[in-house]
Amino acid sequence: MSAETHSATILIVDDTPINLRVIVESLEGQGYQIVVATRGEEALKRADYVQPDLILLDVMMPDLNGFEICRRLKSHPGTRDIPVIFMTSLASVDDKVTGFSVGALDYVTKPLHVEEVRARVDTHLRLRAMQKEMEKQAAQLTEANEELEAFAYSVSHDLRAPLRAINGFTQILEERCGASLPPEGLDCLLKVQFASKRMDVLIQDLLTYARTGRGAVRAVPVPLLPLILELECTFGDRLASTNASFEVSQPLATPLGDPTLIQQALLNLIDNALKYRRREVAPELKISATADGEHVLIRVADNGIGMPAEYQQKIFQVFQRLHHEHEYPGTGIGLAIVAKAARAMGGDVTVESSPGRGSTFTVQLPVAPVTEP
Ligand code: ADP
């Protein structure tokens, strides 16, 4: 017996526990705490009260049969997760199948063999201990993640106030004393202004990242066309100034998601498609949304600079950039926002790209159920 199963409690449910004396003694000898119930109703009460780590359950009981007891244990939130092993004297396949169908994890056949019962009990207790540990770790991870996001949010928020002061005072300095500053001083002043503006953008992006997916995420059918046309309008000036084409392949499949998050994701993808363009050709953007089984695949394709295969995973992490600030300005947060938004809606995002030819970003979301017209 391992350390994690050492003080485990086992509830044995049998109307003739005397028959199980050898098993009980053997399990007690292993250090397990044994609790016995001889009737079905008593078993249900004890299971709820004692919260055993495992239940050994006889199929033949005078009041409730074992399958009914198991069914009730599994439908009650307080006892649902306790593993049940059936003890059945009928080695019939039917009994075993019924046992599994009402939620049992395993069975042992009567007459019981001490070594077999001990081995199965130990295995299931170890599995249960591992499962509990994993659940605990998942809960801790979620909590740590939430704390980190709350921290990032408040830090980003609080940093903006001193930054506004730096911006404001450097502006005043430039306006009032700019003419009397030597060229070197003026150059320094401009650099401070530039850096503080960049920091402001960075903080705003971090705030958006921290906010993305916080709070309730809706799961409603989202018609994409109006949303994409609105974005086309938003980017109107940049599309015109770069001579870009903007093609929407219709019909567009309807995903299930949060309209705000979908819009935020598409906004970042379109922004990038226009930013990472090849200087020598006009940008060509193509947007489509196709149903693929349970999913909708929203694709945003461009004919821009593309990227090598080895970076195609990395770029979805915060602050991962492939270019220098002076070449293509940015903060490295846009695609992290896209990934976070997609995952918050139960989806994901991937990219296919080849350098010098273009990239296609695919946001995968659950498909909306088809409704009658
Ligand atoms: P930012 O654009 O602010 O740098 P993103 O997170 O949006 O941050 O993008 C991360 C990096 O991925 C970019 O710096 C760029 O190198 C690369 N990238 C994103 N979109 C494209 C695209 N459409 N074409 C080529 N490279 C891209």
Tens digits of residue pLDDT in 36-78: 999 999 999 999 999 999 999 998 888 888 999 999 999 999 9
AA identity, residue 98? T
DSSP state of 356: T
CA distance 210 to 212: 6
Q: Supply the pTM of this predicted model.
A: 0.67
Pocket test for ligand 1, best of 311, 335, 340 (most atoms within 8 A of CB): 335
- In this prediction, residue 373 has a pLDDT band, given cuts at 50, 70 and 90, of low
Name the CA radius of gyration of the chain, rounded: 32
CA angle 131, 137, 139 (to 5 degrees): 105
Q: Does the beta carbon of 323 lie inside 6 Å of ligand 1?
A: yes
Indicate whether 372 pLDDT > 80: no
For residue 3, what pLDDT is reported? 47
Query: 300: Cβ below 6 Å to ligand 1?
Result: no
Both structure tokens of 216: 């309730």
Report whether residue 331 contacts ligand 1, using a CB cutoff of 6 Å. Answer: yes
Is the preceding omega at residue 221 within 30 degrees of 0, hence cis?
A: no
Respond yes or no on whether the N-terminal peptide bond of residue 162 is cis (omega within 30° of 0).
Answer: no
Q: Which residue's alpha carbon is at the smallest distance from atom 12 of ligand 1?
A: 315
Ligand 1: residue of 238, 321, 325, 349 to mutate (most ligand atoms within 8 A of CB) is 321
Does position 329 have pLDDT exceeding 90, yes or no? no
Average pLDDT for residues 139-164, to the nearest whole number?
85
Q: What is the pLDDT of residues 166-218, one digit of tens each?
A: 999 999 999 999 899 999 999 999 999 988 988 888 888 888 888 887 778 89
Could you identify the atom of ligand 1 that is nearest to the CA of residue 330? 3
In this structure, which residue's CA is closest to atom 21 in ligand 1? 272
Half-sphere exposure for 46 (CA within 13 Å, toward CB): 22
- Predicted local confidence at residue 91, as pLDDT: 62
Name the strand (E) or helix (H) holding 198: helix 183-211
**Above 80 in pLDDT, residue 360?**
yes
